[in-house]
Chains A and B, each alone.
Chain A
Amino acid sequence: MSFDVAVAIRRGDQLIEAAFQAGEGATVLVGRSGAGKTSILLAIAGLVRPERGAIRVGGRTLFDAGGAVDLAPEHRRAGVVFQEPRLFPHRRVVANLRYGLRDPDAWDATVAMLGIGHLLDRWPRTLSGGEARRVAIGRALLSAPAFLLLDEPLSSLDPDRREEVLRAIERVRDTVRLPILMVTHDREEAARIGTQIVQL
């Protein structure tokens, strides 16, 4: 089982509760906005602490309120692509990609797969939305993650850029074969990427 999640997360007055299990491939979390999809993703990444429950990914326990397990984000090995690319503005693309680099052998293949070789010397502020997303995906992949978390990776992109990033995600899904959990509110995207769809 790739993702085995059962959590209750407090966000202000709202208590977000979710329980799902997902197998191989890409799992897509869908639901109306405000349903807490992003909070669940951030909880799996270790950036939001659930009030109770447990999170297991690939058989590894990342969080367990009962067993008092709460791995720090840097020990979870989550490759996270946030809604905003969150590239480090004071580092060039190449330094962003190297930031979490654990597997130098994967460099050439990753850069080629995402088509970002010509962007390496650029500063993040000069990238288009689609380019920045691809760099963010590359940065996450190069940290040799145990799984990928994608939070609305296609939001605020125009149709051409969307297609470009969608293809990149499909390539990652089909070639890297990491467990992927993606959050989206778009049914079409969900159908295209998801091996399994979880409705919140």
Chain B
Amino acid sequence: MPGPAEWAIIRLSLLVGGTACLAALPVAFALAWLLARGRFPGKVLLDGVVHLPLVVPPVVTGWMLLLFFGSSGAGGRALAALGGTVLFRWTGAAIAAGVMALPLMVRAIRLSIEAVDRRLEQAARTLGAGRWRTFATITLPLSLPGVLAGVVLGFARSIGEFGATITFVSNVPGETETLPLAIYAALQQPGAEATVARLAGASVALSLAALVASEWLARRTGRGVHVL
């Protein structure tokens, strides 16, 4: 069983992963909606940018975040004006994890929005429902299983994040040292094999639980958001 220090790492990973994925959800939903329903110039470009973290090396994503949130970046200056920073903080780790999880979430949510029969939305409109009520009572509930699947998938991706996180916020024990970073650090120490095994076991268990949950939700929708 993991010891107190290891439980702290697991808790931090859950905090970072959970925050990342909850914060990314509205952004992912909005992007998925735009990509599924929108018709505007530059849609292909937006699609490409959203998927970028999936294809560029995570180190590059981390470096870009560092540029943006660093002391001379636009995000960093804005945060400094508010008296805060995300560098070397768990919030920064959550941002890195969220950015890396975003494309997976957008994909799952977009598929589920595209699968909603728009003729049902038309029927709702003729029954007196405005756009928002139609969205809240028809589109959202019908796409919800896919949205949940996207959240779980994003969570699994978040707690596994390594490259962008270590590049962006470094490895600060108790602050940014999530499971993958702790495993990597333990691997550098002689005689920490048992720690590595316990942390790796926790990591596998968490990811597997998330994937199984995602698959279960995907099957409930009966649609193509399967990952297994």
Contacts and interface: CB of A to CB of B under 8 A. Distances in A.
Contact of A74 (B119, B125, B138): B125
A56 to B, nearest CB: 18
Most buried by A among B125, B126, B130: B126
Contacts of B120: 86, 88-89
B130 A99 contact: no
Contacts of A72: 125, 130
Per DSSP, chain A at the interface is loop
Contact of A80 (B126, B129, B141): B126
Interface string A67-90: 000001110111110101010111
A133 interface: no
Interface in A106-133: none
Interface residues of B, number: 15
Contact of B129 (A78, A79, A99): A99
B126 A78 contact: yes
B214 to A, nearest CB: 20
Interface in B117-138: 119-120, 122-130, 137-138
Most buried by B among A46, A78, A99, A143: A99
Interface residues of A, number: 23
A72 B122 CA distance: 11
A89 B120 CA distance: 9
Interface in B124-174: 124-130, 137-138, 141-142
12 contacts: A46-B126, A74-B128, A79-B126, A80-B126, A86-B119, A86-B120, A89-B120, A89-B142, A90-B142, A99-B137, A100-B126, A143-B128
Interface of B: 119-120, 122-130, 137-138, 141-142
